A and B are shown apart, each in its own frame.
Chain A
Amino acid sequence: MTGKIIELGGRRLSLSNLEKVLYPSCGFTKAHVQEYYRRIAPFILPHLKDRALTLKRYPEGVDKPFFFEKRCPSHRPPWVKTADIHRSDNEQMTVCLVNDLETLLWVANLAALELHVPLAKAASPETPDAMVFDLDPGEPANIIGCARVALILQELLSRLGLSSRVKSSGQKGLHVLVPLNSPEATFEDTKTFSRAVAVILEKNYPDLVTAKMAKEARKGRVFINWSQNDSSLTMICVYSLRARQEPYVSFPLEWQELEQLAGAGDPERLHTLQAEAVRRAEQAGDLFGEVLSKQQKLPHL
């Protein structure tokens, strides 16, 4: 077993099993995962900061069983920042906050390939910073169908005076986020609002869209999952790896780019692999910055 001890900012971090292949179909090892998160750190860290991390760990690679870990492992290094969150049952739970590169690399060392975070920060768990529309295609619909729905959604939102951003989920769908960044935002409002939007889109595009969770309704349509707007749920963080056959990334897209790609009709071009993710992020910067900064208020509520 190969391991090494690295020192970052005076903190010691021991990395283990670096040669372990976590994506067998393309020989992508834990060392590669470390390298990916090290290079994407400047872009992903602001989106992880101060949020209760849910680790989705794949100790034996993407083909083997995974497990979720919500509690911050007790064997964590002393310098890992944590938060105690109160759950609805008044019990406390200690969670990890990935606020720096060292913690990100420690988390990667646990083979936590996928990093999931709530829409709210740990200190204000009932205040969503954004509203999300999780677009999930039901076969034979695919990501191109999601792109069409996302573009309609973008226009609808912009006519309501709301700016939005889109990213690939890294799996099959797209996520459209509406930045709020206001202390007055509540999950009750974002849920009510997103559901009304989903229902109206379903009504106007019944062949393309469904707002219903039921499997049968989703067949051949894009399911707008509005119920993700919930304090108890987490979403894949932008720039996180996904545990698919190959290391795909949940990656931001420009609206214009999405329009072109939807027109071109090649679903593959809407998916971003890790190497391209690093290249594009380093070239274009954080396309999702606005999600963390732009202040907006939901109208007509």
Chain B
Amino acid sequence: MAIQGMWSGTISFSLVAIPVRLVKAVAPGRVSFHLLHSTDYSPLSRRMFCPKHEQTVPPEEIIRGYEIVPDQYLPITDEELASVSPERSRTIEIVEFIDLQEVDPVYYDHPYYLVPLKGGEKAYRLLAEIMRRTGKAGLAKFVLAEREHLVAVKSDEGALALVTLHYSEEILPDADIAPKAGTVEAAEKSRMQKSIRNMMVDFKPEKYADGRREKVLQLLKSKKGAIVEAPEAAEAEGEGPPDLVAALENIMAEMKKNR
């Protein structure tokens, strides 16, 4: 599968500027389905429905509102939203370096790879190597798809990777989850330590597969013969009033004869 670039620009800090392209690091393997009308397999579309007027609402009549309290909204136009949207970033400006171990995995949002572009290979290799050896990551603010993200640029086996991080206010508190401290018997403690030790292995993600996905794909394969076809929308309604259709057919025949 070709890797699609979603952004290109430069990584920079102090006097270094490395031209790179951003690509996705994961492609969720979900099997997706279309929704069909069970009576004739017509594909269904989503419409916005106004329950008060009991009718579908055309796109030009749809606006956004921010809920203040139930049934009270602040209307916001696309224009207003656009006015506060950040400009697309041209650079990933690293402002600080941090220890990667300090980042709680709960902060990790979405992973990407950074691919070196022409002329940037040497600096790219150097930065990746130094960050790998020191276990450091660069922190930057970066605008992707109209959102300003906090990102970490890190080394990933000789390549540079970028991971978007959650902002701290997005992280929900976990203060009440851990139970209060209490006494634990020494024997109990060593028993648990021992069983953990016995179950230790190296992390090999390839050992695990999404079992349901495999089963769904198997199921689809076994059903290959049962393909149904959606009806042609225009044909289903007929051609039109018989008089008109007859007149049109006649004219069409004459026109073709004269050509």
B255 and A155: CB pair below 8 A?
yes
Q: What is the CA–CA distance of A91 and B77 in the complex, to the nearest angstrom? A: 21
Give 1 or 0 for each of B211-242: 1 = CB within 8 Å of chain A CB: 00000000000000000000011100101110
Question: How near does chain B come to A59, taking the closest CB pair, in angstroms?
Answer: 6
B244 and A301: CB pair below 8 A?
yes
Give 1 or 0 for each of A152-180: 1 = CB within 8 Å of chain B CB: 10011001100000000000000000000
Kindly state whether residue A232 has any CB partner on chain B within 8 Å. yes
Q: What is the CA–CA distance of A232 and B82 in the complex, to the nearest angstrom? A: 28
A212 and B254: CB pair below 8 A?
no
Chain A interface size, as a band, is: 20 to 34
B55 and A67: CB pair below 8 A?
no
The segment from B99-107, B163-171, B188-196, B245-253 that touches chain A is B245-253
Give 1 or 0 for each of B60-79: 1 = CB within 8 Å of chain A CB: 11000000000000000111
The segment from A9-17, A24-32, A192-200, A269-277 that touches chain B is A192-200
B61 and A70: CB pair below 8 A?
yes
Most buried by A among B61, B232, B256: B61
Q: What is the CA–CA distance of A214 and B235 in the complex, to the nearest angstrom? A: 12
Question: How near does chain B come to A42, taking the closest CB pair, in angstroms?
Answer: 30
Q: What is the CA–CA distance of A214 and B236 in the complex, to the nearest angstrom? A: 14
Kindly state whether residue A211 has any CB partner on chain B within 8 Å. yes
Using A70-B60, A200-B239, A300-B241 as known contacts, say yes or no to A213 and B251 having CB atoms under 8 A apart.
Answer: no
Question: How near does chain A come to B144, taking the closest CB pair, in angstroms?
Answer: 17
Most buried by A among B55, B61, B234, B247: B234
B245 and A196: CB pair below 8 A?
yes
B248 and A156: CB pair below 8 A?
yes
A204 and B256: CB pair below 8 A?
yes
B79 and A199: CB pair below 8 A?
no
Among A64-121, those with CB < 8 Å from B are 64-65, 67-68, 70, 88-89, 91
Q: What is the CA–CA distance of A192 and B241 in the complex, to the nearest angstrom? A: 8
A196 and B255: CB pair below 8 A?
no
Using A159-B251, A200-B252 as known contacts, say yes or no to A212 and B233 having CB atoms under 8 A apart.
Answer: yes
Q: What is the CA–CA distance of A70 and B256 in the complex, to the nearest angstrom? A: 44
B252 and A89: CB pair below 8 A?
no
Q: What is the CA–CA distance of A197 and B78 in the complex, to the nearest angstrom? A: 40
Of all chain B residues, the one with the shortest Cβ separation from A213 is B233
Kindly state whether residue A299 has any CB partner on chain B within 8 Å. yes
Of all chain B residues, the one with the shortest Cβ separation from A214 is B233
Kindly state whether residue A34 has any CB partner on chain B within 8 Å. no
Kindly state whether residue B29 has any CB partner on chain A within 8 Å. no
Most buried by A among B247, B248, B254: B248
Q: What is the CA–CA distance of A199 and B252 in the complex, to the nearest angstrom? A: 12
Contacts of A229 in B (CB 8 A): none
Question: How near does chain B come to A80, taking the closest CB pair, in angstroms?
Answer: 20
Q: What is the CA–CA distance of A199 and B244 in the complex, to the nearest angstrom? A: 12
Of all chain A residues, the one with the shortest Cβ separation from B249 is A200
A65 and B82: CB pair below 8 A?
yes
Of all chain B residues, the one with the shortest Cβ separation from A93 is B61
Among B74-104, those with CB < 8 Å from A are 77-79, 82
How many residue pairs at the A-B interface have CB separations less than 8 Å?
73
Interface size of B by CB at 8 A reads: 29
B244 and A193: CB pair below 8 A?
yes
Of all chain B residues, the one with the shortest Cβ separation from A210 is B234
Q: What is the CA–CA distance of A144 and B246 in the complex, to the nearest angstrom? A: 29
Contacts of B248 in A (CB 8 A): 156, 160, 196-197, 200
Kindly state whether residue B179 has any CB partner on chain A within 8 Å. no
Q: What is the CA–CA distance of A271 and B244 in the complex, to the nearest angstrom? A: 34
B239 and A159: CB pair below 8 A?
no
Among A89, A204, A212, A301, point to the contact of B234 (Cβ < 8 A).
A212
Among A70, A160, A212, point to the contact of B247 (Cβ < 8 A).
A160
Kindly state whether residue A190 has any CB partner on chain B within 8 Å. no
Q: What is the CA–CA distance of A60 and B77 in the complex, to the nearest angstrom? A: 14
Contacts of B58 in A (CB 8 A): 232
Known interface pairs A68-B60, A156-B255; 19 further A-B residue pairs with C-beta atoms within 8 A, sorted by A's residue number: A59-B79, A65-B82, A67-B77, A67-B78, A89-B55, A159-B254, A192-B241, A192-B244, A196-B241, A196-B248, A197-B248, A200-B245, A204-B252, A212-B233, A213-B233, A213-B234, A214-B233, A300-B246, A301-B244
Residues of B within 8 A of A (CB): 50, 53, 55, 58, 60-61, 77-79, 82, 232-234, 237, 239-241, 243-249, 251-252, 254-256
What are 11 A-B pairs at a CB distance below 8 A? A65-B78, A65-B79, A88-B55, A89-B50, A156-B248, A195-B240, A212-B233, A232-B58, A300-B244, A300-B246, A301-B244
Residues of A within 8 A of B (CB): 54, 59-60, 64-65, 67-68, 70, 88-89, 91, 152, 155-156, 159-160, 192-193, 195-197, 199-200, 204, 211-214, 232, 299-301
